[in-house]
Amino acid sequence: MKFMQKWLALIFITTFLTGCLFPQSELSKNQKPNQDQLDMVQQAVDKYKEETGGLLPIRTKPNETPIFQKYLVDFNILKENNIITETPGNAYESGGVYQYTILTPEEDPRVKLIDLRNTETIRNINVKLEMYRSKNIYPPFAKEIEKGIYKLDYEKLGFNNEPHAVSPYSRESLPIVMDTDGKLYIDYRIDLMKALNEFSHDYEEGDDIRYILADNTPFVPVYSLPYTIKNGEPIFLVNN
């Protein structure tokens, strides 16, 4: 009897801890892009634009905000205007891992997703980077990849292994790179190479080719530097 009571108590504690360690934000339904939810938000944005004479339900962001993170959908506006009744379950506002953003708002507003797990990756590296820079004049540069773009000397930051982001497109590991100011970026060249081979395009050298990812998938390439194409391959679009 005592054994059974202890066993039941162990099950209860395990269940309770599981709920604490894996909250709503980590449930599988909130970790996956859902086309129905994406379509629902797109329809809501289109309806709001139509009803307001061209306005969009977005949060106000500073002008210097990177383009793929600049026009975040404001679900409160959509709710207040009775266009939606609830926020998508996989949205950050509902405990999910995605932010909904709008691409090309002036021309053809299209709703896309930001994978916030990579936001957390960049944030975690930045914490160590700021600690390092509080004691050192220069950022921890390693090999220069292109003019002004470097690999990280991750050992100086206290990492045992090179940190990476997980691609929202291929789920492959993507390198983290740094500019001369010590700002961190995700290197999407692996994904861009696949996209250039998979999707039709008319990009020329000098064009920003990041939109091939945003145009053909649910995701935008956040924390990215501009890229262009040269000899059929993606390269960083750097100012000489």
141-175 pLDDT, tens per residue?
A: 999 999 999 999 999 999 999 999 999 999 999 99
Does residue 17 form part of some domain? no
Does residue 2 form part of some domain? no
Q: Identify the domain boundary among 55, 81, 108.
A: 108
Residues 124 and 81 in one domain: no
Q: Residue 20 above 50 pLDDT?
A: no
Which amino acid makes up residue 72?
L
Q: How confident is the model at residue 45 (pLDDT cuts 50, 70, 90)?
A: very high
Does residue 189 form part of some domain? yes
CA neighbor of 185 nearest in space, from 194, 195, 175: 175
Does residue 38 form part of some domain? yes
Predicted confidence at residue 238, as pLDDT, reads 80
Residues 154 and 220 in one domain: yes
Does residue 171 form part of some domain? yes
Whether 228 contacts 235, CB under 8 Å: yes
Residues 98 and 121 in one domain: no
pLDDT, tens digit, 9 for 90 and up, residues 58-71:
998 999 999 999 99
Residues 36 and 62 in one domain: yes
Any alpha helices (H) in the chain, and if so which ranges?
A: 2-21, 35-51, 75-80, 116-133, 189-198, 211-216
Range of weakest confidence among 17-21, 81-85, 120-124, 212-216: 17-21
- The helix/strand/coil state of 189 is helix
CA neighbor of 186 nearest in space, from 155, 225, 159, 156: 225
Predicted confidence at residue 48, as pLDDT, reads 98
Residues 159 and 205 in one domain: yes
Residues 221 and 123 in one domain: yes
Q: Identify the domain boundary among 108, 141, 159.
A: 108
Residues ≥6 apart with Cβ < 8 Å to 61: 69, 70, 71, 72
CB atoms closer than 10 angstroms to residue 68: 21
171-186: average pLDDT: 96
Q: How confident is the model at residue 31 (pLDDT cuts 50, 70, 90)?
A: low
What domain count does the chain have?
2
Residues 166 and 215 in one domain: yes
Predicted confidence at residue 60, as pLDDT, reads 86
Does residue 150 form part of some domain? yes
Residue-number span of the structural domain to which 196 is assigned: 117-236
Structural tokens at position 208: 């920003």
Fill in the DSSP letter of residue 104: S
Residues 34 and 60 in one domain: yes
Whether 184 contacts 175, CB under 8 Å: no
Rounded to two decimals, what is the model's pTM? 0.84
Does residue 6 form part of some domain? no
Q: Residue 140 above 80 pLDDT?
A: yes
Provide the residue count of the chain.
Answer: 240
Residues 66 and 168 in one domain: no
34 or 218: whose pLDDT is higher? 218
| Gap between the Cα atoms of 103 and 113, Å rounded | 10
Does residue 228 form part of some domain? yes
| Gap between the Cα atoms of 120 and 115, Å rounded | 10
Q: Identify the domain boundary among 67, 90, 108.
A: 108
| Gap between the Cα atoms of 184 and 56, Å rounded | 30
Predicted confidence at residue 240, as pLDDT, reads 55
Q: What does the angle CA 151 – CA 157 – CA 158 come to, to the nearest 5 degrees? A: 125
Residues 49 and 148 in one domain: no
Q: Residue 28 above 80 pLDDT?
A: no
Residues 102 and 144 in one domain: no
Residues ≥6 apart with Cβ < 8 Å to 31: 90, 96, 97
Residues 153 and 226 in one domain: yes
Q: What does the angle CA 121 – CA 125 – CA 130 come to, to the nearest 5 degrees? A: 145
Cβ density class 156-172: b for 16+ within 10 Å, e for less: ebeeeeebbbebbbeee
